[in-house]
Amino acid sequence: MTTLPGRVLAFVAAHPDDDVMGAVALVAKYQHEPGFRFVLVHATDGDAGEIAPGSGATRETLGAVRREEDRAGWRVVGRMPDRHDWFGFPDGGLADLADGVLADRVAEIFAEERPDVVVSAGPDGISGHPDHVAVGRATTEAFLRFASDGGHGFRRLLHAAVPQTALDRLNERLVAAGRRPHDPTRIYDLRGVPDDQIACTVDQREQVRLVEAAFREHRTQWAPPWTENTAADWRWAAGAGHFLQAWPAWTRGTPRSTHLFEGL
């Protein structure tokens, strides 16, 4: 690659479908901006995940099926990733990899692409999932290897997050509907962060239906709680993207940005 666009977004995910909730709306929103390039990385094939009844997958075929489901989801968006790398590490085993192994693989891609903005999970993994925590840690480590080297790219590192007030409102709705609220002490339940830590909030309301449509292509995962989502649930889940800014340092009280590339 001899030239690089000025607005390269890299999203580093643990599993297929993580990118649906984390990146589909962003790509749909920014895909027509000049110089936009989207780099997607999956650390696993998701081959230890759920298998919804009627999906046609088996434990032996699940990894390959989920790769194709992910591609089908991006076809719904109408914009395939400009680059898409699958590492094939064990689903559920990212935290058990030797130190530096995952970060080294991510760094190899970063060295070639030099993304302007990188998005991944933060220290809480959004849901406490060990794979999410591990991929977020590795992405952060890889990003910081380049952040101050004087070259182009590496302008902003963002961690996806859930504002605490938004999680409180969701839990109120769940309880009112007779459903179990999210408990931050349970793995796989959402964690909230103080609202004043959110550095960037992107309006994604116009992309909500597209996110749902892309997720439906992940037929092996189309099971509760996703199949129980109401229209209000989808608006809550996909109507806005919220991010902590891990690099450069962001000061509480600074006005939130509303665009991933704002000010770059």
Q: What is the pLDDT of residue 5?
A: 55
DSSP assignment letter at 163: B
**What is the assigned CATH class of domain 7-160+210-231?**
alpha beta
Half-sphere exposure of 233 (CA within 13 A, CB side): 14
Q: Which carries the bigger pLDDT value, residue 5 or residue 48? A: 48
pLDDT tens-digit map of 204-213 = 999 999 999 9
Is the separation of the CB atoms in 174 and 259 below 8 Å?
A: no
Contacts of 79 (CB under 8 A, 6+ apart): 27, 28, 31, 38
State percent of the chain over pLDDT 70.
98
pLDDT tens-digit map of 162-187 = 999 999 999 999 999 899 999 999 99
pLDDT tens-digit map of 5-46 = 579 999 999 999 999 999 999 999 999 999 999 999 999 999
Token representation of residue 149:
């080297």
Q: Which of 188, 203, 38, 189 has its CA nearest to residue 119?
A: 38
Distance CA 203, CA 200 (A): 10
Domain ranges of the chain: 7-160+210-231
